[in-house]
Amino acid sequence: MSSTAFAAGSGYDRVARATHWLLAALAVIVVSFGWASEAAPRNTAARDNLLLLHRSLGLVILALVVFHILWRLRHRAPPLPATVGRLQRAVAHLTQSGLEAIFLIMPLAGYVNAAAAGHPVSLFGVVAIPPLLPVDERLSQFAIAVHLLGQYLVYLLVALHVTGALHHALIRRDGVLDRMLPPRRLRAKTRPM
């Protein structure tokens, strides 16, 4: 089956596509800030700023993934082509659900870590979210362990997701990736001559 035959009128809606690609971009950025903050010297303004950006983007991701899940509950995903087998469908569903779950869990674990350590979390230095938990060092340590473990799950799930998308785009050419891209008529207009 050609990708053009499948792609016609069978893609995700604009909101689903926008939230998908925005979450992907924010995930790359928030991980980069996380790595950079670990590399920065402790008790410095540079590290504090990196942590502020990391935590703020984590909160943005949390809000965006909640919106994304609610949107997807009301707007069904376009069907996969019949050529996609049951195992591939199961892996795709598990990967998608796993990414949504981990993008909920990681920001929450990051917040619990800070709150249980007695630190407020600031959203870009504009809005302070007070610690809603009592100070509890063990809870703080548990939450940071969950947060750190979660990053490896993100790497694994993103690798599976991207590998699957590239497999369908480059090898099978069955239009699966096209469902998350702008409609062909829009892409054709934006191509350079």
Tens-place pLDDT, residues 33-62: 999 999 999 999 999 999 999 999 999 999
pLDDT band at 154 (very low <50, low <70, confident <90, very high): very high
- Per-domain boundaries in the chain: 3-183
Residue the block writes with tokens 């069955």: 174
Cα dihedral value 57, 105, 99, 148, nearest 10: 80
pLDDT at site 192: 55
| ∠ CA 141-144-150, rounded to 5° | 145
Residue the block writes with tokens 């869990």: 105
**Residues present in the chain in total:** 193
pLDDT band at 65 (very low <50, low <70, confident <90, very high): very high
- What CATH number is given for 3-183 in this structure? 1.20.950
| ∠ CA 6-82-181, rounded to 5° | 35
- State pTM to two decimals: 0.84
pLDDT at site 183: 79
Q: How far apart are CA 120 and CA 113, in angstroms?
A: 10
pLDDT at site 124: 95
Q: Tell me: the pLDDT tens digits for 109-153?
A: 999 999 999 988 899 999 999 888 999 999 999 999 999 999 999
pLDDT at site 3: 43
User: Residue type for 128, please?
Assistant: A
Q: Is the pLDDT of residue 185 over 80?
A: no
pLDDT at site 85: 87
Residue 36 tokens read as 């950079």
pLDDT at site 120: 84
Residue percentage of the chain with pLDDT more than 70: 90
Residue, of 188 and 161, whose pLDDT is higher: 161
Average pLDDT over all residues of the chain: 88
